[in-house]
């Protein structure tokens, strides 16, 4: 099957969006690393890798449906952030925007009766639900820790606990 030009263009915009998210989270990771927040940096590096994977999945899909994936020019993300709380709030807000964008793609695929793209996008719907839930967990924990004198130390420890849980899951031990 061949994809419509309109759908192809919209998916290419999503490629650019995912690519920007990957660079944004990488920039945030560097900032955290520089502040000595290794747990936060590692968490954001992993999120950055995830976004690259989200981007590449669309490349593959476009190739499967005889479309052409465009390698995007990526705008430089911010280099500096005020606080670690602000960093994670921005990640959450960015993820909410990505969700809206995926929802628009689904609507377009529906209107075009493009069932293959609709089916492809279901993976992203589930992924966004998980990512938003994860970021809400992070924000809730940061909120519980508060902004007392040792809060950065405890926030970093919490993020590192999430890194370890992710590593255990990646090792195939979900629930182990």
Q: Which residues sit at the interface with ligand FEO, rule CB under 6 A?
A: 18, 21, 51, 54, 95, 98, 131
Instruction: Give the nearer residue to ligand FEO in terms of CB position, either 98 or 108.
Output: 98
Instruction: Give the nearer residue to ligand FEO in terms of CB position, either 37 or 91.
Output: 91
CA separation, residue 125 to residues 101, 106, 120, 121 (Å): 10, 9, 10, 6
Residue 176 near residue 167 (C-beta atoms within 8 A):
no
CA–CA gap between residue 43 and residue 25 (Å, rounded): 9
Residue 110 near residue 118 (C-beta atoms within 8 A):
yes
Task: Find the shortest distance in angstroms from Cβ 40 to ligand FEO.
Answer: 17
- Give the residue nearest to ligand FEO (CB): 54
Instruction: Give the nearer residue to ligand FEO in terms of CB position, either 93 or 147.
Output: 93
Q: What's the alpha-carbon Rg for the chain, to the nearest Å?
A: 18
Instruction: Give the nearer residue to ligand FEO in terms of CB position, either 6 or 97.
Output: 97
Residue 21 near residue 74 (C-beta atoms within 8 A):
no
CA–CA gap between residue 162 and residue 134 (Å, rounded): 9
Task: Find the shortest distance in angstroms from Cβ 18 to ligand FEO.
Answer: 5
Task: Find the shortest distance in angstroms from Cβ 21 to ligand FEO.
Answer: 5
Task: Find the shortest distance in angstroms from Cβ 132 to ligand FEO.
Answer: 9
Residue 118 near residue 109 (C-beta atoms within 8 A):
yes
Instruction: Give the nearer residue to ligand FEO in terms of CB position, either 7 or 91.
Output: 91
CA–CA gap between residue 83 and residue 105 (Å, rounded): 33
Task: Find the shortest distance in angstroms from Cβ 99 to ligand FEO.
Answer: 8
């Amino acid at each position: 099957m061949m994809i419509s030009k309109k759908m192809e263009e919209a998916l290419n915009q999503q490629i650019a969006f995912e690519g920007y998210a990957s660079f944004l989270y990488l920039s945030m990771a560097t900032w955290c690393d520089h502040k000595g927040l290794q747990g936060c940096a590692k968490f954001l590096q992993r999120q950055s890798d995830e976004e690259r994977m989200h981007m590449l999945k669309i490349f593959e899909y476009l190739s499967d449906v005889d479309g052409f994936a465009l390698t995007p020019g990526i705008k430089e993300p911010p280099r500096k952030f005020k606080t670690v709380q602000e960093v994670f709030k921005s990640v959450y807000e960015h993820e909410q925007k990505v969700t809206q964008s995926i929802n628009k793609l689904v609507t377009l695929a529906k209107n075009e009766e493009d069932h293959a793209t609709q089916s492809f996008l279901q993976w992203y719907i589930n992924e966004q639900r998980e990512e938003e839930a994860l970021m809400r967990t992070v924000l809730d924990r940061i909120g519980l820790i508060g902004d007392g004198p040792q809060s950065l130390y405890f926030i970093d420890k919490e993020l590192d606990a999430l890194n370890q849980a992710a590593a255990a899951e990646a090792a195939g031990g979900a629930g182990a």
